[in-house]
Structure 1
Amino acid sequence: MADIKESPPLFDTNETKVDDLDDDDEDIFASAVQDQNQLEDSSPYNGVSTIQAELPKLTLRDAPEENSFSSVSSPAPGPLSSPLGPMSTDIGDLHDVPINDNTDVLSTNVMQPQSPDVVLTDSSDVFLKITVTSPQKIGDGMGAYVAYKVETKTNMPIFRKRNFSVIRRFSDFLGLHDKLTDKYLRNGRIIPPAPEKSVIGTTKIKMSGDKNQEQNSSSTEFIEKRRAALERYLNRTAAHPVLSVDPDFREFLEADMELPKATNTSALSGKGVMRLFNKVGETVNKITYKMDETDKWFEEKTSQIDSLDVQLRALHSAVDTLTNQRRELATCTGATARSIAVLGHGEPGASLGRALAQLAETLEKVEVIRRAQSNSDLYQFGEMLRDYVALIGAIKDVFHERVKVFQNWQHAQMMLNKKREQKARLEQSGRTDKTSQAATEVIEWEAKVDRGQEEFDNISKMIKKEVERFELVRVEDFKKQLTEYLESMLQYQNQLIKYWESFLPEARAVA
């Protein structure tokens, strides 16, 4: 029996979680603790899919079907999207999605990612591939919302079809995450985090119109980033051996009907405000309550996770700064190209005028390359880091859930001691009429203590397996995506060298 420890009152095991209201928000290559074959479940989380794009004539509009980095001259991997200029809002094809007069399809001039197959077991023949496409704005004004087409390809026997698609809005994704959290977080499962809500981004979408092209471009880029994040969320969930066969997850993927509105996900509702207060209370509890950890594994992992979180956030901030500076550099390069072109038209000397025109053309190509580089910075590297910051948050959540289970166990132990003392006082005073009731209460609290200890032991074991699975995949996935990002940067730099080398003879030929 554990030692008696004063603790806060008993927590509700079905406490509602709250989503963050902001949009913005260690040793990275730490080794796994044990081999994957020792894990209870054989299927790890799938890493964030990295998308490649062809770069013919310095554009990022076509995406290859497969990722290939066989040589430096092969097509460069591109970002999840590439807003090289103001994004269009032309109506696109939605296949089976009916479009009425109030439907505004938010298509972009960027590629759609091709997610890799998610292998759920050791057999490569079993797969579950999910893509999120065709974001569309439905309705106008503050009542508008964005719906997405969720396409699934699988050969798993638990699904009725092999290829199917449904339409889901953003709140449906959050509703699914809440259901999975309510079911499995208490058991020690790491629930892949859903994309964060953004009041600012949502408001921009609702208020965007044909007249405001700058706002349309901003809102469309936001939607594309959210679409890619939703796709990564579903594929991470599909890669989990337990979550992938959950009835709510299967219903989300294949139920060809509108799901019940997930009202609990609304940030501005009354329930949303209550969840915010609950979140504040949990945050205070995390700060004020310090568990006397007896398991060295958890003590070390907690320190490692905190350090990894700090490192990833710092790296993400640096990449974000790099992205902004690269975009600014691309803009300045384009402005320089236009100024040199004007200067070349007024130059009387034929050779010098031709050289200036060639320089302007070269700078225009360089501008496109630098915009592509900034997109790779953001979508290939930056979004991957954002994903892992969110995953670290999910691990912290399950660690805190274990602390709450410990608090409940200690609270039950404290109540058992009080009931035993009360029973002893009644026996000493000779009040046999209440002794039997006190004895019954002691038995009840003894059972609660035993259940509390069992629950604590079970969640501790499960967390170890989940974290070890995460570590095994994280190292390989991070290495793979970082390599692809560096290869894309190398190809961009090689292309820049070719442009300047082709211009050099023209510059030397100036009389």
Structure 2
Amino acid sequence: MAENKEPPPLFDDLDINTNNELDDDDDEDIFASAIQEQNPLSTSNSYNGVSGIQAELPKLSLRDAPEDTSYSTVSSPAPGQLSSPLGMPNDINDLHEVQINDDSLSQSLKQSQSLEEVPTEISDTMLKITVTSPAKIGEGMGAYVVYRVETKTNMPIFKKRNFSVIRRFSDFLGLHDKLIEKYLRNGRIIPPAPEKSVIGMTKIKMSGDKNQEQNSSSTDFIERRRAALERYLNRTASHPVLSVDPDFREFLEADMELPKATSTSALSGAGVMRLFNKVGETVNKITYKMDESDSWFEEKTSQIDSLDTQLRALHSAVETLTNQRQELASFTGASAKSIAVLGHGEVGVSLGRALAQLAETLEKVEVVRRAQSNSDLYQFGEMLRDYVALIGAIKDVFHERVKVFQNWQHAQMMLNKKREQKARLEQAGRSDKTTQAATEVIEWESKVERGQEEFDNISKMIKKEVERFEILRVEDFKKQLTEYLETMLQHQNHLIKHWESFLPEARAVG
């Protein structure tokens, strides 16, 4: 069956932070400094890029991709401005080491059944979320970045139709952890939150007015994170179950500071345990192979791996393309300056004028090249990055099903042991312990039934979630690629116009 599968995706999920203070304040938030500037992807109609410095960074959304003839929507910014319980057993023989929690299992089953009652589609509803105005709070190592989360909706479960709140990065991670805890065990695909980045926030801390290069890099990082947070919230909002979750609603409309999500800190007690758990989970994924009896899962696992490999390769290629366009834009700008100097020293009037016109044309071409580079990054590259993370979320829910299967098999193994123990006691005439053994057999029979029921439920839910994901993925890819290609076509048309306007001047050289 694997022969018919598509190939596999793009980068590793684990980004381990090594600074405790960074994580305590968003991982990114502790470093602060270069966020007081304006966005690179503004919707101005001029070629002059972005200018001005503000206390807060204005909203920039890829949904506002240029449909006019301007480039500043995707043009590069001026210096200092913003651009656009440890793993499960590794062998089935070790399953006896796993302890089954009756209450937890029952609760999970009840929650799974109750979630089935939630309608899978919500018609005629609107829930649109934008993340705007990144701003630094505090100074030094205690500084962090906050974002304004604005919501527009017609859903009756919300108290207002329009509202906004201030949230920090750790709040987003805390929300994601809550959703994972509640829904992953039931087979729901939870949209992944943006990863932490010590390097990105270190750049923000080190950037300042005197270091324009670092300042531009840090503001670009903030903009990419802002856009990623916005996409994360809207993906969550589009899910028929997650969108009505109490924690999600509180995150959107509770106009107060949320309790600090200390579990998001890498080096806190919870963070260290989470790191060990991830290592254990990774080892378990590698070493434990489930005997798959459902051909659908066997097929989908191969397809997901193939898609993962393809997306990762494509994302890498797009990153290379982006860097090359940026270099091309820089070289074009350098050429324009050199030609302008050459034109000033030219004795011939017509040739000097032609060289000056050529320098001006190359300056315009530089702007277009930077616009193309930003389109590659923000409209195409970031979409691919999102889907690599989404594929990781699908793999996580597939692995959760394996863990449920392991618990079920452990219960079955323990039931067999208890039955054998009961039979030996009966043969030995130990009536004093036979009753207790019979009770234990009944208990493990119940655990086996619940384990099988939970396994069947999560398998059923995963199939529904993957089917929904595939439908949305096709629609989303079509929309995003269409917008990207339209923008590329606009860029090429502008390049043609620039060179056509220069051609008469070149021909006029006598």
Residue of structure 1 in register with 2:204 after alignment: 205
Is 1:86 aligned to 2:85, yes or no?
Answer: no
Q: In 1, are the aligned partners of 2:62 and 2:378 still within 8 Å (CA)?
A: no
Hey, what's the Cα distance between the residues in 1 that align with 2:211 and 2:60?
29
- Gap regions ≥5 residues in structure 2: 1-12, 19-39, 51-58, 85-119
Gap change, CA 1:154 and 1:290, over 3 Å in 2: same
Gap change, CA 1:64 and 1:345, over 3 Å in 2: same
Q: In 2, are the aligned partners of 1:188 and 1:462 still within 8 Å (CA)?
A: yes
Hey, what's the Cα distance between the residues in 2 that align with 1:413 and 1:368?
67
Residue of structure 2 in register with 1:295 after alignment: 294
Shifted more, 355-364 versus 139-148: the winner is 139-148
TM-score for both structures, normalised by structure 2: 0.81
Hey, what's the Cα distance between the residues in 1 that align with 2:74 and 2:252?
24
Matches within 5 A, 1:285-364: 285-364=284-363
Hey, what's the Cα distance between the residues in 1 that align with 2:337 and 2:365?
13
1:74-129 per-residue CA deviation (whole Å, 9 max, x = no partner) reads: 516979864333233xxxxxxxxxxxxxxxxxxx475xxxxxxxxx95644x2011
Shifted more, 173-182 versus 158-167: the winner is 158-167
Matches within 5 A, 1:30-69: 56-58=45-47
Is 1:75 aligned to 2:68, yes or no?
Answer: yes
Residue of structure 2 in register with 1:105 after alignment: none
- Gap regions ≥5 residues in structure 1: 1-17, 24-50, 89-107, 111-119
The counterpart of 2:16, out of the listed 7, 15, 21, is 21
Give the AA of the match of 1:20: D
Secondary structure (helix, strand or coil) at the match of 2:472 reads: helix
Give the AA of the match of 2:203: K
Give the AA of the match of 2:308: D
Hey, what's the Cα distance between the residues in 2 that align with 1:109 and 1:287?
39
Give the AA of the match of 2:76: P
Hey, what's the Cα distance between the residues in 1 that align with 2:419 and 2:232?
49
User: Once the 2 structures are TM-superposed, how far is the Cα of residue 141 of structure 1 from its aligned partner?
Assistant: 1.1
1:244-285 per-residue CA deviation (whole Å, 9 max, x = no partner) reads: 000000000000110011011012333322211111111110
Q: In 2, are the aligned partners of 1:76 and 1:491 still within 8 Å (CA)?
A: yes
TM-score for both structures, normalised by structure 1: 0.81
Q: In 2, are the aligned partners of 1:194 and 1:230 still within 8 Å (CA)?
A: yes
Q: In 2, are the aligned partners of 1:340 and 1:359 still within 8 Å (CA)?
A: yes
Residue of structure 1 in register with 2:492 after alignment: 493
Number of equivalent positions: 434
Gap change, CA 1:328 and 1:66, over 3 Å in 2: closer
Secondary structure (helix, strand or coil) at the match of 2:199 reads: helix
Residue of structure 1 in register with 2:376 after alignment: 377
User: Once the 2 structures are TM-superposed, how far is the Cα of residue 68 of structure 1 from its aligned partner?
Assistant: 8.9
Q: In 2, are the aligned partners of 1:80 and 1:228 still within 8 Å (CA)?
A: no
1:338-369 per-residue CA deviation (whole Å, 9 max, x = no partner) reads: 00000000101100000000000000000000
Secondary structure (helix, strand or coil) at the match of 1:294 reads: coil
Residue of structure 2 in register with 1:226 after alignment: 225
More helix by share: 2
Q: In 1, are the aligned partners of 2:41 and 2:74 still within 8 Å (CA)?
A: no
Gap change, CA 1:449 and 1:162, over 3 Å in 2: same
Q: In 2, are the aligned partners of 1:80 and 1:380 still within 8 Å (CA)?
A: no
RMSD across aligned positions (CA)? 2.4
User: Once the 2 structures are TM-superposed, how far is the Cα of residue 476 of structure 1 from its aligned partner?
Assistant: 1.5
Residue of structure 2 in register with 1:435 after alignment: 434
Residue of structure 2 in register with 1:273 after alignment: 272
Secondary structure (helix, strand or coil) at the match of 1:168 reads: strand
User: Once the 2 structures are TM-superposed, how far is the Cα of residue 204 of structure 1 from its aligned partner?
Assistant: 2.1
Residue of structure 2 in register with 1:412 after alignment: 411
Hey, what's the Cα distance between the residues in 2 that align with 1:220 and 1:162?
32
Hey, what's the Cα distance between the residues in 1 that align with 2:211 and 2:132?
24
User: Once the 2 structures are TM-superposed, how far is the Cα of residue 509 of structure 1 from its aligned partner?
Assistant: 0.3
Residue of structure 1 in register with 2:23 after alignment: none
Is 1:131 aligned to 2:130, yes or no?
Answer: yes
Hey, what's the Cα distance between the residues in 2 that align with 1:196 and 1:60?
29
Q: In 2, are the aligned partners of 1:347 and 1:353 still within 8 Å (CA)?
A: yes
Hey, what's the Cα distance between the residues in 2 that align with 1:346 and 1:60?
30
Residue of structure 1 in register with 2:166 after alignment: 167
Hey, what's the Cα distance between the residues in 1 that align with 2:387 and 2:75?
22
User: Once the 2 structures are TM-superposed, how far is the Cα of residue 66 of structure 1 from its aligned partner?
Assistant: 7.8
1:448-485 per-residue CA deviation (whole Å, 9 max, x = no partner) reads: 00000000000000000000000011111101211111
Secondary structure (helix, strand or coil) at the match of 2:166 reads: strand
User: Once the 2 structures are TM-superposed, how far is the Cα of residue 20 of structure 1 from its aligned partner?
Assistant: 3.2
Is 1:425 aligned to 2:418, yes or no?
Answer: no
Give the AA of the match of 1:86: P
Q: In 1, are the aligned partners of 2:325 and 2:372 still within 8 Å (CA)?
A: yes
Give the AA of the match of 1:21: I
Give the AA of the match of 2:335: T
Gap change, CA 1:238 and 1:80, over 3 Å in 2: farther
Give the AA of the match of 1:439: A
Gap change, CA 1:311 and 1:68, over 3 Å in 2: closer
State the identity as a percent.
81
Gap change, CA 1:267 and 1:348, over 3 Å in 2: same
Residue of structure 2 in register with 1:477 after alignment: 476
Secondary structure (helix, strand or coil) at the match of 1:56 reads: coil
Gap change, CA 1:168 and 1:355, over 3 Å in 2: same
Secondary structure (helix, strand or coil) at the match of 2:146 reads: strand
